[in-house]
Structure 1
Amino acid sequence: MGKRHQRKMLRLMESGEPVRLAVTIGTMKEFTRLAFIAQQFGYAYENLLQTGQGAGVLWLVPDPDPQARTLARENRERYPHAAEGGPLPPLVPEALELLKARMVLDLERQYSAKTRMALVLVPLTLGSLTLGLEFGEDMASVLTVAGGFWAAMTALLSVLFAAGRRSVARYAARLRAAGFTPVTDHDGRSRYVPPSGRLPGHGDPFAG
């Protein structure tokens, strides 16, 4: 995980305000670890949005829960140099898996199924035509090459989408088993509320 992102996030959290952290090239592993560290210092994961190839924006908000505030206070005492790249609380695999499940579902529901399909099929169609023009000698061969490539890639995408749906179902089942409850947010997306029964809220985790 990039130390730079972690230091930046912890410094931003010192304000006690909601944090928006943009990561230009980030993996799911990095995002989950960042969110886990934020939880150790009084913040709650709110959302993850994809902005480009490998890029994303992690949204974090102060957690007003008394247990979260107590944990944050204890960890600030134990790890006083965390924001300068010092030692951090140890990672907990179970907590990381739950964060990953929430993030995968948030990314899956960032766009509707029709929008995701359009985002894939438009460049695929253009790429197929380009390939056909590159290797075809006449209009018939251009269409044959382009159509064959398009059909093969569409079949592959169908398999990948089906695998993605199965993966989403597994993550949703994991969250429900952990006590998370599905709700609909103000954008009409299905989100999962933590066992506390509250969506991430505001409040200064550094107060007191």
Structure 2
Amino acid sequence: MSKRQTRKMLRLMASGEPVELTSAMASVKKLARLAFTAQQFGYEYADVRQGGGNNSQLKMLIVPDHSPQARARAAQNWAQYPNAGDGVSLPPLVPDAFELLKARINFDLTGKSAEKRMGYGALGVSIGCVILAFRLGGEPTDFVITGVIWLALMAVFGIGLVVTRKRNAKFAARLQAAGFAPVADETGRVRYLPPGGQMPGQQGNPFGGGPYGGAAPGMPAPVPGYGYQPPQPPMPYGQPQPQPQPPYPQPPYGHPVQQNPHWQPPQR
């Protein structure tokens, strides 16, 4: 896990909005480490999907965790690790929690949705072999050749399906032993959620639409932490709004522009 990616993640988490992280090398281990760090500062792993050319990237979504336990843990860790924004001064990795995150990410990647993709792939190969036989001339020998190719590819798909199901069973058993419960969404996709967890799109969950979705209205306030700005009470109409004062030292990502409150536009 690079310091640069950790610093970027913590900076994005300051907004209190859902954050998407990308692993260019399709590394579940790297994403699990990032998710563990996010959990220490008020966020929670939400979902993962493949992306990029040839699905060579993994894109993980983390969202704010507004549970009392998560808020207390975030406040304690920000107090104990005030320099966490440097990407180095972080809470130590807890092996059991890290392995559970790896199991959740792996299951979400290779669950029933992966089997469905393999089924579509097998159907596409079957149609392609028929088309190939006709393009070769449509003779019996052409169908024999394409039939051999089809059998070889179906064998590969079959081996992949068996391996995928064995992996899924292993991850599911580990998650169930830790108290996670299988829940199916409206499309039939099964996810393993921690006790009290919610499926995407339920009760204002901010990753319900599209690949992940956007922030839902009426979400609770973000956990105080790195760069957090507390909400300001509304002022009466016609009175100037006070400038918010940062409760923490600002990270070296830029300098605020000073505004002159006495400046008046030139008279024409």
TM-score bracket, normalised by the shorter chain, equals 0.7 to 0.9
Q: Which residue of 1 aligns with 2:260?
A: none
Q: Which residue of 2 aligns with 1:61?
A: 63
Q: Which residue of 1 aligns with 2:124?
A: 122
Deviation at 1:125, TM superposition (A): 7.5
Q: Which residue of 1 aligns with 2:92?
A: 90
Output one character per residue of 1:59-94: Cα deviation in whole Å (capped at 9) or x when no partner.
Answer: 111111222112111222232232222222111111
Q: Which residue of 2 aligns with 1:182?
A: 182
Question: What SS is found at the alignment partner of 2:45?
Answer: strand
Residues in 2 aligned to 1:121 and 1:94: alpha-carbon distance in whole angstroms: 40
The 4+ residue runs of structure 1 with deviation greater than 6 A are: 139-142
Q: Which residue of 1 aligns with 2:46?
A: 46
Residues in 2 aligned to 1:192 and 1:94: alpha-carbon distance in whole angstroms: 16
Q: Is the 8 A contact 2:36 2:97 kept in 1?
A: yes
* Structure 2 residue 204 is matched with structure 1 residue 205: no
Residues in 1 aligned to 2:157 and 2:184: alpha-carbon distance in whole angstroms: 28
Question: What SS is found at the alignment partner of 1:111?
Answer: helix
CA distance change for structure 1 residues 142 and 93 in 2, over 3 Å: closer, same or farther? farther
Segment of structure 1 superposing worse, 80-89 or 159-168: 80-89
Which residue type is aligned with residue 205 of structure 1? V
2:113 to 111, 114, 128: 111
CA distance change for structure 1 residues 124 and 97 in 2, over 3 Å: closer, same or farther? farther
Larger Rg: 2
Q: Which runs of 5+ in 2 are unaligned?
A: 200-204, 206-218, 231-268
Residues in 2 aligned to 1:87 and 1:123: alpha-carbon distance in whole angstroms: 51
Which residue type is aligned with residue 110 of structure 2? E
CA distance change for structure 1 residues 206 and 185 in 2, over 3 Å: closer, same or farther? farther
Q: Is the 8 A contact 1:27 1:54 kept in 2?
A: no
Segment of structure 1 superposing worse, 171-180 or 152-161: 152-161
Residues in 2 aligned to 1:162 and 1:141: alpha-carbon distance in whole angstroms: 32
* Structure 2 residue 161 is matched with structure 1 residue 154: no
CA distance change for structure 1 residues 160 and 188 in 2, over 3 Å: closer, same or farther? closer
Question: What SS is found at the alignment partner of 1:182?
Answer: strand
Which residue type is aligned with residue 86 of structure 1? V
Which residue type is aligned with residue 105 of structure 1? F
Question: What SS is found at the alignment partner of 2:89?
Answer: coil
Q: Is the 8 A contact 1:79 1:86 kept in 2?
A: no
- Equivalent residue pairs, number: 205
Percent identical residues: 42
Deviation at 1:32, TM superposition (A): 0.9
Q: Is the 8 A contact 1:5 1:23 kept in 2?
A: no
Which residue type is aligned with residue 93 of structure 2? L
Q: Is the 8 A contact 1:49 1:110 kept in 2?
A: no
> Normalized per residue, which structure has more helix?
1
Q: Which runs of 5+ in 1 are unaligned?
A: none
Deviation at 1:172, TM superposition (A): 1.0
Output one character per residue of 1:159-185: Cα deviation in whole Å (capped at 9) or x when no partner.
Answer: 221121011012111111111111223
Root mean square deviation, CA, Å: 3.2
